[in-house]
Amino acid sequence: MIRDFGVLPDGTKVQEVTLKKGALEASVLTFGAIIRDLKVDGQSVVLGFEDLQSYLDHPNYFGAIVGRCANRIAAGSMTIDGTRYQLDRNDGGLNHLHGGSDGFFNRVWQLEQHDKASILLKLVSEDGDMGYPGRVEALLRYTLTGTGALRVKITAVTDRTTPVNLTQHSYFNLDGSSTILDHTLEIAAETYLPVDDQLIPTGEIRKVEWTPYDFQGGRKIRRKPGEEDVIFDHNFCLSAQAQETVQFAAALEDGAGERRMEVWTTEPGVQFYDAGMLDVPAPGLGGKPYGRHAGLCLEAQRWPDSVNREGFTSVLLRPLETYSHVTEYRFS
């Protein structure tokens, strides 16, 4: 089903396409390629809004595809093949975040095709966009599978060497409770990337063992005594490079253990953000307020600031190459 969802200030129309298969139902916007709602057996499991204006007023990347390069780039600066580029510094005026202030999350994607269970969207990012070199064409397909999964497949090509690192930025809450602090999270990573006070990786790759960042065996997200000041907005290192096929990355269970979501991905990292800074005064889906920890993000991606870090995963896409990313959210 397709319907008009609203009109942007420049007059561009935004459409919503509803997909349904088995127990899953997804509502996808052409604006930002946003997953506005995702229902499992009728229960919404993501945060979203009922109207377009709320997305414009509260740009927290709700359900969007972010890029051209997800996560943070220190000082918005990078050097590629001897040429320095200055990107949009939209993160407190200091760093580059999620592709810049007018990144992929803030664009209307072209609706290429859709059927009852899948949608194909396209976005073209021109040379110089947010400071990036090269023209990038990205294709995104969302598919609801017969096995109870939302599949995200993204490909991209470029005519000049440029960073490409796209991710799906939904905030998940599996039971509709006011916070996800009593959800149980498992992350299949032995190491993570410590960050500085601007949330930029320090360059160290640290073992999670004996730290608050050890989710290997599964644990509640709520802080333990002595962890009250711990921030969860870090990249967890799944592998040294992108994989050919999806691998298990993380699992999330609601507070009662009645609903489970597994994340499987080809990507070498997953950014876990527990929405500790979220505070949205507008009502969300079903009129619910979205305060701190109302949802959490598990953003499958290449490691942050990789373009400036030796030993991190490569994010550079060169002409004649194809960027490929597959992530599945499997529900049971």
Residues identified as active-site: 169, 299
DSSP-derived letter for residue 10 is T
Interatomic CA distance for residues 147 and 102, integer angstroms = 36
Q: What is the helix (H) or strand (E) element at residue 113, kind and residue range?
A: strand 110-114
Sign for the CA dihedral angle at 272, 332, 238, 154 comes to: negative
Interatomic CA distance for residues 185 and 37, integer angstroms = 22
The residues, any chain, with a CB within 8 Å of residue 35's CB and separated by 6 or more, are: 26, 27, 28, 46, 48, 63, 142, 150, 168, 170
The residues, any chain, with a CB within 8 Å of residue 226's CB and separated by 6 or more, are: none
Q: For strand 149-158 and strand 323-331, is the pairing parallel, antiparallel, or unpaired?
A: antiparallel
Interatomic CA distance for residues 64 and 30, integer angstroms = 10
Buried b / exposed e over 31-67, threshold 16 CB at 10 Å, is bbbbbbbbbbeeebbbbbbeebebbeebebbbbbbbb
Secondary structure of residue 151 in the 3-state scheme: strand
CA dihedral (104, 29, 265, 227) in degrees, to 10, reads: 80
